[in-house]
Amino acid sequence: MSVTRDDLRANFASALSNMYRHEVPQYGTLLDLVSDINNRDSKEISEPVQRRIEVERHGAIRLGKPEELATMRRLFALMAMQPVGYYDLTAAGLPVHATCFRPVSPMSLTKNPFRVFTSLLRMDMIADEAIRSRAEDILNDRQIFTSRCLDLIKELELKESYSSEKAEQLLQEALETFRWHKSTAVDSDTYQTFQDAHPLVADIVCFRGPHINHLTPRVRDIEAAQAEMRRRGLCPKDNIEGPPLMKWPILLRQTSFLALEESINFSDGSETDGKHKARFGEIEQRGMALTPKGRRLYDQLMERFNKRLGDVSSQEKTTPEIGSKLLRQEFSEFPDDLETLCHEGLAYFHYRVAKSHTPTGTKGDIDTLIQTGIIEIEPITYEDFLPISAAGIFRSNIGSACAKSQNSGNADRDAFERGLGCPVQNEFQLYEKMQRESLAKCWEELKIMPS
């Protein structure tokens, strides 16, 4: 029996989910409540979409050095996951930059869209030279992959499919890298020094591996999930990150519950009684992918919203309700019907010929074909992340010590890609290609040339 890269990704996502469920019981509660909500009114959506959502998860890890990122790229490539997008988080006062490893072809996405937000520590953002060189020394000596895992990567990257035995071995070895370690490699003083420099530095440098810090199921109704989280004793953050509730959801809406305070030991277990906050729970609702034009409008409205919220909160105490009302007001400018979104080129769509249509050499431009119901459109799901939302998620789970510190930002995409060993893919181009190919198929089926 052989296993494809898509199978390996699906198996890995499922094994990781089981492991995390044991490590963090609240995650199990989250999965249960999300599944309940997703199965309500599930007749409204197509079966492949329902199946995809049922297993859909994203995770996040934080890496310490470029070599780790390069090996992670090779490991994820065996699961048909490729780096897409560059996220600079320094603008939000976080010393990391990131990419998303995810499947890119429509078929792989339908099978299992598992994605991992993978960030890399920015050494150059640690101001204190002594702390920086201490961190470098510790990371230089660290190996986050088992030696068997490294051997298997070398062996399997030359193949398209793997024996089920080899696939299972790789999966087990890879899990080791994502596992939680209760003991740090460093002593408590060193841990505290890094914690004072930045909680992210402590979380990244002090442990033997980049423990998975959350796994996020996708929910169809995030308002319902937020209320249900409260009812079941999980304490979600007050506001939902991202765009407001709309008839036709756009991009990504997320909420999380705060990091757990976990007991840890130092010096490989010989010093006890430490506490660490890193792991948390999150849920997301995914909407349609926006074109660069749509994204510019989104960013503009978000910026206006943040400014207004800032103005209002400088005069009175704001509540989450006031925030979401302001957000809805700003986004009243964002079109909320499919035809306008499509016609104005704000979002990406799958085009297909309506089932009821028999080819008759139809002519006409795309708008007419859509209006007359010959071509149907369906929004393409957004598969990526949002930097401002990600910053909000980071901030809410590393503790209030890192309240908003706004810098001008200091992206270094070149350094990130040098570490990674290849350029990251452009997400807009991937969506554009999906749209273009679906349209080409329509012209072929209708046997006409595009006008």
Q: Which is nearer to ligand OOG, 322 or 402 (CB)?
A: 402
Binding site for Ni ion (CB under 5 A): 216, 282
Please tell me whether residue 11 binds ligand OOG under the rule CB under 6 A: no
Phi first, then psi: what are they for 201, rounded to 5°? -65, -45
State the Cα–Cα distance between residues 395 and 390, nearest whole angstrom: 8
Residues in binding contact with ligand OOG, number by CB under 6 A: 12
Those residues whose C-beta lies under 8 Å from the C-beta of residue 66, and which sit 6 or more positions away, are 120, 418, 419, 420
Those residues whose C-beta lies under 8 Å from the C-beta of residue 253, and which sit 6 or more positions away, are 222, 240, 241, 242, 243, 245, 284, 285, 287
Q: Which residues pair with 117 in a beta bridge?
A: 60, 100
Please tell me whether residue 331 binds ligand OOG under the rule CB under 6 A: no
**Residue 385 contact among Ni ion, ligand OOG, none, beta carbon within 5 to 8 Å by kind:** ligand OOG
Single-letter residue type at 329: Q
Site for ligand OOG in 223-262 (CB under 6 A): 254
Query: What three-state secondary structure class fits 210?
Result: coil
Q: Which is nearer to ligand OOG, 123 or 448 (CB)?
A: 123
Q: Which is nearer to ligand OOG, 82 or 256 (CB)?
A: 256
**Residue 394 contact among Ni ion, ligand OOG, none, beta carbon within 5 to 8 Å by kind:** ligand OOG
Q: Which residue is nearest to ligand OOG (CB)?
A: 390
**Residue 229 contact among ligand OOG, Ni ion, none, beta carbon within 5 to 8 Å by kind:** none
State the Cα–Cα distance between residues 450 and 335, nearest whole angstrom: 27
Least distance between Ni ion and beta carbon 251 (Å): 14
**Residue 156 contact among ligand OOG, Ni ion, none, beta carbon within 5 to 8 Å by kind:** none
State the Cα–Cα distance between residues 120 and 65, nearest whole angstrom: 7
State the Cα–Cα distance between residues 367 and 198, nearest whole angstrom: 53
Mutual orientation of helices 25-39 and 5-23 as an angle, nearest 10°?
A: 120
Q: Which is nearer to ligand OOG, 11 or 389 (CB)?
A: 389
Return the structure tokens found at 150: 């490294």
Least distance between ligand OOG and beta carbon 398 (Å): 8
Site for ligand OOG in 138-177 (CB under 6 A): none
Site for ligand OOG in 359-418 (CB under 6 A): 385, 389-390, 393-394
Q: What is the dihedral of CA 46, 52, 55, 58, to 10 degrees?
A: -130
Q: Which is nearer to Ni ion, 108 or 216 (CB)?
A: 216
Least distance between ligand OOG and beta carbon 119 (Å): 6
Please tell me whether residue 60 binds ligand OOG under the rule CB under 6 A: yes
State the Cα–Cα distance between residues 54 and 238, nearest whole angstrom: 26
Helix ranges restricted to H, 206-269: 222-231
- The CA distances from residue 362 to 352, 355, 365, 440, in Å, are 14, 15, 10, 15
**Residue 377 contact among ligand OOG, Ni ion, none, beta carbon within 5 to 8 Å by kind:** none
**Residue 213 contact among ligand OOG, Ni ion, none, beta carbon within 5 to 8 Å by kind:** ligand OOG
| DSSP single-letter state for residue 265 | E
Q: Which is nearer to Ni ion, 5 or 102 (CB)?
A: 102
| DSSP single-letter state for residue 157 | T
Least distance between ligand OOG and beta carbon 8 (Å): 22
Q: Which is nearer to Ni ion, 30 or 377 (CB)?
A: 30
Query: Contact letters (x/-) for ligand OOG, 82-121, by CB under 6 A?
Result: -----------------------------------x-x--
Please tell me whether residue 62 binds ligand OOG under the rule CB under 6 A: yes
Query: Radius of gyration of the chain from Cα atoms?
Result: 23
User: Residues 274, 280, 282, CA angle at the centre, nearest 5°?
Assistant: 175
- The CA distances from residue 410 to 70, 299, 307, in Å, are 22, 19, 22
| DSSP single-letter state for residue 247 | S
Q: Which is nearer to Ni ion, 216 or 226 (CB)?
A: 216
Q: Which is nearer to ligand OOG, 228 or 284 (CB)?
A: 284
Least distance between ligand OOG and beta carbon 394 (Å): 5
Q: Which is nearer to ligand OOG, 75 or 386 (CB)?
A: 386
Return the structure tokens found at 348: 């990406």
For the beta carbon of residue 115, count every other beta carbon within 10 angstroms. Answer: 25
Return the structure tokens found at 216: 């996020």
Q: Which is nearer to ligand OOG, 389 or 438 (CB)?
A: 389
Least distance between ligand OOG and beta carbon 62 (Å): 5
Site for ligand OOG in 195-214 (CB under 6 A): 213
**Residue 119 contact among Ni ion, ligand OOG, none, beta carbon within 5 to 8 Å by kind:** ligand OOG
Which residues here bind ligand OOG, judged by CB under 6 A?
60, 62, 117, 119, 213, 254, 282, 385, 389-390, 393-394
